[in-house]
């Protein structure tokens, strides 16, 4: 479970007046769920997501993931804890000077995994997202949907319990969006990974989310459970 307790985050210098991006948010995300966070641009969705793996540290409040209080950890402990939290982005964030394999390999290199084992794990993850045949290509040779598959493969290398998705389909056309949502559903169902999706696209939420939280002006203003799913086209 991901549990945020009274979490707040402001930006800017004190004397210029600070902007409260996230204000006293308390939220629980159940294990195995696909949880959507929706709301208008500037509402604080992306900040809230980055607080869940401490890419942003909260000014106040606690962030607990899988029973561990990330806000109480030192740098080394936090680095270790982050390995069980994958993340993907709207712009994919691939390194252009590395091949597909080279990109997927990055977290394993950082974790110090030996080369042979690493190659095996990279293959497994690429196979999972259906991109094994692109292993030696560079990102510039891929479509947007393929790039996001690479990013998902990279996020899965360390067998995370949680996958954080920041507008994962907002650069993609509707058909490619459906493909990526199918991959995310596959990650959730066959690997049991808890997924949190920040999006402004209501069709995305309607297609795959079970629980939805609504953010406005830094606060959670509503939450609901979707009972009936719109089938993917």
Footprint on this chain of ligand ADP (rule: CB under 6 A): 11, 19, 21, 39, 41-47, 91-92, 143-145, 171-173, 176
Can you spell out the DSSP letters for 7-27? Answer: EEEEES-GGG--EEEEEEEEE
**Contact between residue 25 and residue 217 where contact means Cβ atoms under 8 Å apart:** no
Distance of alpha carbon 60 from alpha carbon 10, whole angstroms: 10
Distance of alpha carbon 150 from alpha carbon 201, whole angstroms: 22
List alpha helices for 8-110, DSSP H. 45-51, 75-82, 100-110
Strand-pair category, 162-166 with 194-198 = parallel
How is residue 111 written in tokens?
């974790």
**Contact between residue 18 and residue 10 where contact means Cβ atoms under 8 Å apart:** yes
Closest CB to ligand ADP among residues 121, 149: 149
Minimum gap (Å) between residue 10 Cβ and ligand ADP: 9
Minimum gap (Å) between residue 142 Cβ and ligand ADP: 8
Closest CB to ligand ADP among residues 97, 143: 143
Closest CB to ligand ADP among residues 167, 188: 167
Closest CB to ligand ADP among residues 191, 202: 202
The 10 Å Cβ neighbour count of residue 204 is 24
Minimum gap (Å) between residue 117 Cβ and ligand ADP: 30
Minimum gap (Å) between residue 152 Cβ and ligand ADP: 13
Minimum gap (Å) between residue 39 Cβ and ligand ADP: 6
User: Residue 33 phi/psi, 5° resolution?
Assistant: -90, 165
Closest CB to ligand ADP among residues 2, 108: 2
Minimum gap (Å) between residue 205 Cβ and ligand ADP: 14
Closest CB to ligand ADP among residues 44, 160: 44
Closest residue to ligand ADP using C-beta atoms: 144
Angle at 82 between CA 220 and CA 49, to 5 degrees: 20
In the chain, what is the straight-line distance between the N-terminal and C-terminal CA atoms, in Å? 31
């Amino acid at each position: 479970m991901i549990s945020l307790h009274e979490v707040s985050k402001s930006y800017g210098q004190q004397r210029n007046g600070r902007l409260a991006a996230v204000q006293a948010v308390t939220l629980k995300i159940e294990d195995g769920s696909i949880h959507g966070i929706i709301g208008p641009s500037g509402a604080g969705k992306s900040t809230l997501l980055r607080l869940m793996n401490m890419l942003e540290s909260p000014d106040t409040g606690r962030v607990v993931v899988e029973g561990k209080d990330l806000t109480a950890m030192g740098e080394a402990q936090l680095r270790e804890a982050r390995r069980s939290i994958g993340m993907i982005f709207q712009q994919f964030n691939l390194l252009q000077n590395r091949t597909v394999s080279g990109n997927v390999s990055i977290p394993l290199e950082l974790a110090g995994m030996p080369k042979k084992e690493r190659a095996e794990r990279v293959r497994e993850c690429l196979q999972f997202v259906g991109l094994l045949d692109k292993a030696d290509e560079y990102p510039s040779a891929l479509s947007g949907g393929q790039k996001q598959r690479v990013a998902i493969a990279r996020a899965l290398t360390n067998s995370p319990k949680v996958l954080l998705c920041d507008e994962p389909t907002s650069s993609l056309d509707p058909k490619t969006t459906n493909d990526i949502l199918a991959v995310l559903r596959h990650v959730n169902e066959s690997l049991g990974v808890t997924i949190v999706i920040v999006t402004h696209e209501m069709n995305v939420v309607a297609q795959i989310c079970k629980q939805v939280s609504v953010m406005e002006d830094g606060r959670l203003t509503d939450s609901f459970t979707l009972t009936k799913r719109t089938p993917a086209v």
